[in-house]
Structure 1
């Protein structure tokens, strides 16, 4: 199953690849050059199909856990000063997505969207310290029953040039529900309350709508 955001790109890529393969077949006389061109075209098509894949991941929502919004690797766990919306200290967990990861963004928790804003910006590599505040990005805030307000940012990287964000202010959303897509990119930051317990470690691989990122801190902690 492929994500709807990739439909036009997939169809366009398919016809371009078919045209290249046929052109190589009819107009290139050197067999090994013809074969290389045809194989390379098919590999590119397969990579595009893989990039836009959208595996079904049914979720039984829980209010006590924050789930990973995307597939990828945890590259940042730190306390930061959030200046756009919260204007206070937050725990930031950043997940980097390689081109081989699923790039669907899913809601990390159930709740109400209280803030959703797009910011144009630069295209620094996703692991650059300033990518969270200077790159093209969206910021979304959810009001949740147990954690209060939590935030996440979709951040474009050096390759990505198109962030898709479905969150609309006032909308009720469910944990695991499709929240958007980052075409050919690259990182999502979670902005969580200081009193939650982080359940992941640096360099850990996480799976969207499956891996628990944070939980409610127990009263005796």
Structure 2
């Protein structure tokens, strides 16, 4: 979580501000939206900021606003050039959200420091390693360092050797039934070569050829049952199918 220490409300000239604001800082009279507008930029943010999911605005040692980060982007200057500062875009959180309840109206989770930007490993930003070890890791990661390989080895060993695992996976996944299109081999001018197809594809795979107008030269057709058994699936299409199956 990014922790941003704010100063008191200060009126500024919009012409001098990268975001065109007329005030920055904190005032108890500000609504959450007004406080967000006054405080979500422009800040010198390091690389770590882009990995964080939440931002907490702090004033005089207490949390005053919590934001779920949607994106962080450089601020454009008046000339259109990218400035060295960044702006945080996100959703203002309210009571009932665990980050709001844990930190807004509560003491800052980090001690005072000279730099207005700090970081805190909030509980809401942590999860358990998917290998099953129980280790807590930052949100956005699936495994602790090296544990992805451990998880793979453990599962391979339950089946047998690597060869056994590959054979099992191919049987379990089936013949990739959604990879069922053949692009007839053609020359660069679209003339059929008469050569047999070497792979199966998904419709729209980048392996087809098209002319400058986008017309597909090697017309796709459905693979025959024999081709489904005999031809290997395109690796790019396997990746696409697996990605779709995972819902990503």
Pairwise TM-score range, normalised by the shorter structure: under 0.3
Q: If the length of structure 1 is used for normalisation, what is the TM-score?
A: 0.22
* Structure holding more helix per residue: 2
More strand by percentage: 1
Rg comparison, structure with higher value: 2
The alignment's TM-score, normalised by the length of structure 2, stands at 0.21
**Could you say which structure has the greater relative contact order, defined with CA pairs below 8 angstroms and 6 or more residues apart?**
1
